[in-house]
Amino acid sequence: MSDPVQTAKVDLAEKLKLIPDRPGVYLMKDKAGQVIYVGKAVSLRRRVRSYFQGGRYQGSKVARMVQEIADLEYIVTDSEVEALILESNLIKLHHPWFNVKLRDDKAYPYLKVTVNETYPRVLFVRRPRPDGARYFGPYTDSSAVRDTLQWIRKLFAIRTCELDLDKGQRLKRPCLLYYIGRCPGPCVDGLTTPEAYRQVVDEVCLFLEGRHQKLLPQMQEKMKQAAAALDFERAARLRDRLQSLTKVVERQKVVSPQGGDSDVLGLAVDEATGLACVAILFVRDGKLVGRDSFFLDSEATREQKGSGKEGEAGALEASHAKAEASDPPSATSSSQELQEILTAFLGGYYGQAGFVPPEVWLPLRLPGHEEQVWSEWLGQRRQELLAAQGRSWEVAETVPTQARSSPDYTPEEWEAEDGGERRRAAQRRQVVSSSRARATIRLLTPRRGERYQLVGLACENAQEILRARLAEEERREAANQSGLQGLKEALGLADLPWRIECYDISNLQEKDSVAAMVVLEGGEPAPSEYRKFKMRTPGPNDFAMMHEVIDRRFRRGLQERKELRALGLLGEVEKRPPGWLRESQPDSLGSGREQVNLEIDEADAGDAKVVFTGACPQSPNQGGAQPEQDNAGKKQEAAESRQAPEKSGGRSADQKVWAKQAKFARFPDLVVIDGGPGQLGAARQALRNLGLAELPTIGLAKQNEWVYLEDDPEPLILPRNSPALHLLQRVRDEAHRFGITFNRQLRGKRTFRSALDDVPGVGPARKKALIRAFGSVAGVRRATVDELAAVPGVSRALAERIAEQLGNPAAE
């Protein structure tokens, strides 16, 4: 029988011979077919082959990656700029293990100005969309963004309602915000005009851009006009607004007398953890208007940190610069690593930023060909953003830096000033006239002067932010470790309770009862492990509901462990078995009662918001019961789908994908029940029924914060300042928050539910179209089949079904 590992190496060697000498993107894969690294190259042949030069990367993160490479793919592009764009998209798609990425980039908030509406609004959003609106960001501090949004709504009269004014939704009288001067009342005809409202929106955009020097004269002129027209109330409001903005401007530091827009980047890296911080200073109209910071690392460096190994500021892409013959032989590996982090930030940040300035100042130079590629790509991004704002690149780029910030400042007016000196100075730095060269951003690496000092200031900020972040992480890790150690000693556990699961019941009378399961791993929340359940137990019975959720969770977990063990995949899903489980016999787990039926109800998967059919190989969207099937059909299909495949000589990629669907196979070191002895007893009874009596379980009563154990009638009272108690309170409060949120979601859906939701084929979009067409559900009920079929997206067959289900007499 042939060795599959040797076969994979032979196939990989054959692919290396066929790689073309062209620009493109390459994807490195492991033996399971998962993408572990995505890179770009001006020459795919030279770059990819350089990975496999023996002994070149001993001891580095690259060497670890090369050991895991079992296959590769490549995509040829026409230019390296196209390869850069494709690389960025593939990194976002696959989240490769070894790529350096922005930390938690999915959570970065934006401020959205809906300029695509007649009466725009300012909104807090998480994801920019190509909808014609303007986006400012990304920002790292969501609370600061919300504070800014509140300040904008207080300072500028902008509507906050969700009325679709473009579609004619109007009110007969304005809301309270109009009477207190917080909204001009566009919802009522005659109170304002689109032109007057748009002027306020333009002021908001200037404020968010940091162009206060242009905004202040405009507001001062409006204030004078209002005073001259004897509109003293409006003049007073403008005066207060002007004073608030003046205080903001006075705190800003002038960094460039010539004016202009630029972003100044500073970089700091912690060699022990591999965590990097990029601080970005925003210079607008020559003034420093703000600062933000972002952290970058890779999952590989996080794993190194977790295992106690010293990380490194990983650099994969830049470490191959010599293979492209771009860096001098004297270039150090540390500088190459910094270049990797810097380019990762450029792609991650400016790929989603709402503004790209004409100049970006860097703390170190990129390789020659890399600098040109990034300059062109940033130029393309700037072109796209200017086009979305209706501005021209030529006007923005052919005037000097001090005039670029004002679209109303023409080149002729600029050349007439200062005896032509400004024109001659601009000619020395003006980009060439070809369209490709014009669409570039200047990447500068200052070596002396004021610019060098400002880049140094950015680096100092990055170092301070990184130092504070590491100190906070170290303090939090120490507190978590102390809390886990305290729990181990107080509860007499064999090992530290690394994985803690907490369960809470949330209900309002007899409706929408739910259960929440939250997880701490190493003392830190693990949101991807959270689960939520819809309760089937009738009535507000916390004891019975707690018994139900524990039974469903661990019954499902036992079934998944059984199937994974048959495939030999249990060790990959549960790399760290709990101490109580290691002491027991794994093969006899769950055999406390022979009559226990481990077959799970397929509905559990839906309640827990996961999809696990038990079938292998099979995609997550296959094998599930269709909505029109009855419960018996669902159970039968689930039972048939759980026939584990026969094992072959090696594990297929489909088996690995199937294993990832096992969302309950990992068992905790400690179970925390939100409640007292009653809830604890119900949970323990469910565990004993499943043969899991050895699983440590405690109850935490909220009233006195007492800890209850099953065999002890007296509560365990931990000191109020105990780190162990703080850890239990944190996981209990998180379970309560998670459960309450799910309960509110269900109640909200039930509150806004209508008869249309019960009609097969009517989803949210069609429901909205029908309500818009007929005004209400009663209007839909009165409509004829022909009138229903006239609604866009509604076929005649669906119209007949709607009329029949709603009880329209005309349909009979």
**Residue partners of 89: CB distance under 8 A and separation at least 6:** none
**Helix 232-250 × helix 142-155 angle, to 10°:** 150
Say if residue 369 is exposed, middle or buried (CB neighbours under 10 Å; 0-12, 13-18, 19+): middle
CA 161 to chain CA centroid, nearest Å: 26
* Banded model confidence at residue 486, pLDDT cuts 50, 70, 90: very high
d(CA 238, CA 222): 8
For residue 672, is pLDDT > 80?
A: yes
Residue count of the chain: 812
Parallel/antiparallel/unpaired status of strands 511-521 and 531-534: antiparallel
With CA atoms as reference, report the closest residue to 333 among 42, 40, 56.
Answer: 56
Q: What is the mean pLDDT of residues 146-152?
A: 79
Say if residue 673 is exposed, middle or buried (CB neighbours under 10 Å; 0-12, 13-18, 19+): buried
Within 10 angstroms of residue 2's Cβ, the number of other Cβ atoms is 8
d(CA 312, CA 271): 5
Parallel/antiparallel/unpaired status of strands 287-297 and 253-254: antiparallel
Within 10 angstroms of residue 94's Cβ, the number of other Cβ atoms is 16
Local structure of 344: helix, strand or coil: helix
For residue 500, is pLDDT > 80?
A: yes
- Structure confidence at residue 658 (pLDDT): 59
Q: What is the mean pLDDT of residues 152-159?
A: 81
- Structure confidence at residue 636 (pLDDT): 44
∠ CA 619-620-625, nearest 5°, is: 105
Contact 697, 722 (CB under 8 A): no
Amino acid at 659: A
- Structure confidence at residue 732 (pLDDT): 93
pLDDT in tens, 185-215: 888 888 888 888 988 888 888 877 777 666 7
pLDDT in tens, 561-570: 888 888 888 8
**With DSSP H G I counted as helix, E B as strand and the rest as coil, what are the percentages for the chain, rounded to 5?**
50, 15, 35
Query: What's the per-residue H, E or C state across 435-473?
Result: HHHHCCCEEECCCCHHHHHHHHHHHHHHHHHHHHHHHHH
* Banded model confidence at residue 620, pLDDT cuts 50, 70, 90: very low
Parallel/antiparallel/unpaired status of strands 511-521 and 524-525: antiparallel
* Banded model confidence at residue 439, pLDDT cuts 50, 70, 90: low
- Among 334-348, 446-460, 484-498, 524-538, the range scoring the smallest mean pLDDT is 334-348
The more confident residue out of 600 and 309 is 600
pLDDT in tens, 207-243: 777 776 667 777 777 788 778 888 777 788 778 777 7
Contact 474, 481 (CB under 8 A): no
For residue 410, is pLDDT > 50?
A: no
- Structure confidence at residue 589 (pLDDT): 58
Q: What is the mean pLDDT of the chain?
A: 75
Contact 38, 24 (CB under 8 A): no
**What is the residue-wise DSSP string for 13-63?**
HHHHHH--SS-EEEEEE-TTS-EEEEEEES-HHHHHHHTTSTTTTTTSHHH
